Structure 1
C-alpha cells in the first residue's frame, strides 16, 4: 500500500468532525476545521455566499443556531490527489424535530492538507430539487444505488 494512503483516510476524519460539530451546534469546533486563510468560502444550501473566516463564522452561527440539524451522508464520491481531497456527497439534513421532513442536499467539500492536517477550504451546498429528491429516494428504497 502506498505510504500516503493513510493521509487521505484522515480527510474523512475532518468531514466526520464537521458533521459532529454541526449536530452539537459547536461553532468553535466547526471553525477549527477550516484552513487558516481568508480565501475560504461557503455557498450555503439556502443560497447565501459566505467568504472569509469571520463571515463564515457569523453565517454558520445564525444558520445552525436558528435551525439545528444533523447531517447524514447518503452517497459519497471521493476525488483525491496529493494535498487535496474533494468530496461530492448527497446528504440528508435532518431537523431536530423528528416529525420534520429532512432536506436532501448536494454538498461538495474541498479539503487541503495543511501542516499535517486536513482542513476545509471550500463548501458548496445546494438543496436538491424536489423531483430529483423523489427519484433519489425511490432508488435508495429499491436498492438500486443512489446515483446509478
Structure 2
C-alpha cells in the first residue's frame, strides 16, 4: 500500500516539470510530458484549440517564443482516481518583462498514468474575467486564499 500512496505525488512532479519547461521555453522537454497518443488536446487561454501532438508542439512553440511566461500556481484543487489525476488551478501567467501585468488564468490539467509515468492528456486554460481576477487578487492579498 505505501507504493500506492506515492503514485499521485509523481503526477505533481509532471506538473512541476511542465511549469519548468514553459519557463525555460524548452519545447522538447515540454512535449516529453505528453502521452504519446493523437487524442491529446490543448485549449489555450487565448482560445486556440490544438489537437494532436504535432499541433500542440507547433502551437506552443509559437506562443512561448512570442511571449515567454512563467506560471505561478495560486490555488490548486486535485481530483484523483486510480489512473487519472485532474488538477484545477488558478494561475498567474507572468511575462518575462517584470513590469508587465500577469494574466490570471484558470487551467485544468488531465493526466493519465501510463507505463509507470504520469503524462498529460489534456490541458484547458481560460482567461479569468477581469472582475474575477480582481476579486481573486484581493483575497490573495488579504491572506484569505482563493476560495474563502
Return 5+ residue gaps in structure 1 as ranges: none
* 1:51 alignment counterpart: 51
* Residue 112 (structure 1) aligns with: 112
Secondary structure of the residue aligned to 1:4 is helix
Aligned pairs, number: 148
Quote how far apart the aligned CAs of 1:2 are.
4.6
CA distance in 2, matches of 1:138, 1:110: 29
Render the CA deviation track for 1:70-95: whole Å, top value 9, x for unaligned: 00000000000001000000000000
Which residue number in structure 2 is paired with residue 101 of structure 1?
Answer: 101
Residue pairs, 1:1-148, within 5 angstroms: 2-148=2-148
What is the CA-CA distance between 1:34 and the residue it aligns to?
A: 0.1
Shift of 1:3: 3.4
Partner SS for 2:45:
coil
- Deviating runs (4+, > 2 A) in structure 1? none
CA distance in structure 1 between the partners assigned to 2:78 and 2:15 by the alignment? 12
Deviations 1:101-136 (A, max 9, x none): 000000000000010000000000001010000000
